[in-house]
Structure 1
């Protein structure tokens, strides 16, 4: 199960439910290995160190449900023109997604047209992932991540 427009649309719908059109905002959607889609928004706070990425809630819910994430996308609404922009996962979210392996698909902006998106495997986004050094040269399994 891959990243597709349905997943992007789910993130946009969540964003629109949470923030009015004139406000900036972001939301995420993930697809689970059983086909379900989970959405979440970031946790904003006046104390910046306690805010969370938009994806965090959905990742935690997937883990709670004991399901694997197969695809993830994060959408941000640009307050200047209202368009939706796909944000690649930050380093922290890449680390969170690593739990489910190198084949998780993530949305990234198309380098030839940043108004469009493309799907990339996590391993392509993070080709120099550090953890294989401690797992015998291979991407750590989900079990190894949780040990």
Structure 2
């Protein structure tokens, strides 16, 4: 799948966002290494901490279907779904991306299907925390 098609899939999610509090709609489209696409939108909640971002929605859908290897994600967003600028993922979403994607995992930010900015996870989240930090010096898992 090309970048433009992935971005278009993210744009298609904007009207599905549930954002009655921020009015900021976000759509995401996640590409697996085997070419499947999982989409997501943000879902807000009156208890703000219970909200979930579009990116995490896409990852949760994919992981719940057994997917574990990913190539790229497209992210778009704007007030009431009108995209005026690039919308980078929040810190929590970046951490989720670090769990499932390596430093070369691609994040496509778009203003339109023609205006795409491609960044790697290493660029957006340098020195990411991951499973390696939870291993003991002998290579076994840390007691948690």
Q: Same fold (TM over 0.5)?
A: yes
Superposition pairs for residues 47-62 of structure 1, below 5 Å?
47-62=47-62
Measured after TM superposition, the shift of residue 83 of structure 1 is: 3.1
Measured after TM superposition, the shift of residue 117 of structure 1 is: 3.0
Unaligned runs of 5+ in 1: 137-143
2-structure distance, mates of 1:46, 1:9: 29
Show structure 1 runs of 4+ deviating over 4 A.
Answer: none
Measured after TM superposition, the shift of residue 73 of structure 1 is: 2.0
Q: More strand by proportion, 1 or 2?
A: 1
Q: Partner of 1:95 in structure 2?
A: 95
**What is the root-mean-square deviation of aligned Cα atoms in Å?**
3.1
Unaligned runs of 5+ in 2: 136-140
Tell me if the contact between 1:75 and 1:87 (Cα under 8 Å) persists in the aligned partners.
Answer: yes
1-structure distance, mates of 2:16, 2:72: 22
Q: 1:84 to 1:62 in 2, by over 3 A?
A: farther
Q: Partner of 1:141 in structure 2?
A: none
Q: Report SS of the residue matched to 1:55.
A: helix
Q: Partner of 1:106 in structure 2?
A: 107
2-structure distance, mates of 1:17, 1:92: 21
TM-score, normalising length: structure 1: 0.72
